[in-house]
Structure 1
Amino acid sequence: MISSTPSQLNRKVNHSGSGAAKKMGYSLLYLILIMVAVFQLFPLVWLFFFSLKNNQEVFNLPPLSLPMNPHWENYAKVWGAGNIDIYFLNSVWITITATVFTVVLGSLVTFAITRMKWKGSSFVLGLFMVAMMIPVHSTLIPLFNIFNKIGLNDHPLSLVLTYTAFNMPITIMILLGFYYALPKEVEEASVIDGCNVNRMFFRIVLPMTSSVIATTAIINMIYNWNEFIFVNTFISSNEYKTLTVGVQNFIGQYTTDWGAIGATLMISILPILIAYLFLSDRIVEGIAAGSVKG
């Protein structure tokens, strides 16, 4: 019969003790994460219940209480009579158009700055980085006057141009680290094979940066979808308004339809929420890949 030595017994005790501590640590971590998740989901649950109530229930019932009779007609009301269908489509195409322009132009600028040798590249990069410090509110009056002179006030193109310009600096900043880390051997091999600069960018470099492009696209989509100040300043016609300003239709001088407002906000949140749930892994992957300079 073989007996364990004291040192072996000590190792077993230490191993079991460390295993129990590790399990306790993971349990505590999961508990904290669950609490954070519940805290993050609280506004969405509250808004959903809010959207199914009428004015009397909004003010007389507790915030998280279920409506006595769910008013699903709030969604039908805002989608039809409230013109939310038009605002929703405007938000979709303006957001997608501005995002595509920003990502493509930002990729071209970043490629030129990081992969091509030319005088003034550092200066141009500095200009884009300085642009991040310009407050949005300080540009409203100059932009309004410019668009008024060229006939773009109350036109969706004014929003597309503005979103593209203001999102370019942050897009370039995210792309920089990834482009610096790209191996130059791939570009050299393509040049040897007779590839010109344009073909190299669209056929080789752009597909290699798909993960970080997904990150910048989602960030741009979230900003463009939720933007309010420029839409409220430049757009006055109902046919060009987006969801963020369309909610004002349910705010009257004497009465406010709070249930309809809640339904509108719920409709405006769902597309971005669904896109983020499906593409959240790409966001993390792109940020991690672009955070290290090779």
Structure 2
Amino acid sequence: MRQRSGVLLLRRSGYSLLYIALIAVAVIQVLPLVWLFIFSLKNNQEVFNMAPFAIPAHPHWSNYENVWSNGNIGQYFINSVWITAVSLALTVMLASFVTFAVTRMRWKSSSLVLGLFMVGLMIPVHSTLIPLFSMFNKLHLTDNPVSIILSYVAFNLPTTIMILLGFYYSLPKEVEEAAIIDGCSVNTMFFRIVLPMTSSVLATTAIINMIYNWNEFIFVNTFISSDHFKTLTVGVQNFIGQYTTDWGAIGATLMISILPILLVFLIMSERIVEGIAAGSVKG
């Protein structure tokens, strides 16, 4: 009896330590967001003269109004939304096509094609800027959002395919065989059977692609020059002048750019966990 109570006490102590560690990690993760929010409510003088987590006596909510009305952040925000959405949809759909063809269909050179896509994982992004700029310039696609979308899709495809591979390999073949017996074509089987079965892992790839596309800076800064097509990450530079920088406006812009990511992650978090769990137990 005493031994059992000792085991229970030890187990409870272990859980308590685990919860304390997890709470500490969560607080550490949230602190930068709290600091950025407080930072966005300060002016330049308060940024340099006050403690990092000190709340100003009169918060400058006008920073948010200023960046939205005078900083053209509204246009940048819309550009970020639609460019991210289009790139995400194309990447996930094309990656699903490729993964389905490689893992569920028998054809020559499928391993070679898969290997060519995986080679993309080893290509550094920075090494492609000059060749891509030269190619887009010849095609008259510089200062055009099409160049950004094509770049996002090309560089995100290998990672997305790699994530989908394990899940597709674990799908039961009996479901496809039953669909073929019932007269399903390949297209019908993919869109009505296979694609819904992979919805959980697609949510995982979607959030990964969204974070990359939303936060990407190099391609937009290199290929886009007009304000009409700039995204939020590049639009922050509008508040950096030659002689002065509006730090409060920069903080407000960064806070606005973070909110959609947090919102989407909170909405899709259960689907992401389902995708990870399903990928680990199938097979």
TM-score interval for Structure 1 and Structure 2 normalised by the shorter chain: over 0.9
1:174–1:290 Cα contact (<8 Å) kept:
no
Please report the RMSD computed on the Cα atoms of aligned residues, expressed in angstroms.
1.0
Which residue number corresponds to residue 162 of structure 2? 173
1:52–1:67 Cα contact (<8 Å) kept:
yes
Which residue number corresponds to residue 112 of structure 2? 123
- Note if 1:58 corresponds to 2:47: yes
List gaps (5 residues or longer) in structure 1.
Answer: 1-11
1:174–1:287 Cα contact (<8 Å) kept:
no
CA distance in 2, matches of 1:186, 1:35: 45
CA distance in 2, matches of 1:79, 1:183: 51
Which residue number corresponds to residue 75 of structure 2? 86
Which residue number corresponds to residue 130 of structure 2? 141
Write out aligned runs for 1:1-294 (5 A). 12-291=1-280, 294=283
List gaps (5 residues or longer) in structure 2.
Answer: none
Identity of aligned residues (%): 73
Larger radius of gyration: 1
CA distance in 1, matches of 2:181, 2:20: 57
Deviation, structure 1 residue 281: 2.3
Deviation, structure 1 residue 284: 2.5
Give the 3-state SS of the residue equivalent to 1:260 in structure 2: helix
Q: What letter corresponds to residue 135 of structure 1 in structure 2?
A: P
CA distance in 2, matches of 1:142, 1:155: 16
Q: What letter corresponds to residue 202 of structure 1 in structure 2?
A: F
1:177–1:291 Cα contact (<8 Å) kept:
no
CA shift digits 1:36-86 (9 cap, x unpaired): 111111100000000000000000000000012100000000011000000
Deviation, structure 1 residue 285: 2.1
CA shift digits 1:186-211 (9 cap, x unpaired): 11111111111111111111111100
Give the 3-state SS of the residue equivalent to 2:122 in structure 1: coil
Deviation, structure 1 residue 292: 6.3
CA shift digits 1:69-108 (9 cap, x unpaired): 1000000000110000000000000000000000000000
1:175–1:290 Cα contact (<8 Å) kept:
no
1:128–1:169 Cα contact (<8 Å) kept:
yes
CA distance in 1, matches of 2:79, 2:214: 10
Change (3 A) 1:292 1:108: farther
| Runs of 4 or more above 4 Å deviation | none
Deviates more, 1:188-197 or 1:250-259: 188-197
Corresponding residue pairs, total: 283
CA distance in 1, matches of 2:164, 2:36: 35
Q: What letter corresponds to residue 231 of structure 1 in structure 2?
A: V
Deviation, structure 1 residue 278: 2.0
What TM-score does the superposition give when structure 1 sets the normalisation length? 0.94
CA shift digits 1:257-281 (9 cap, x unpaired): 0000000000000000111122122
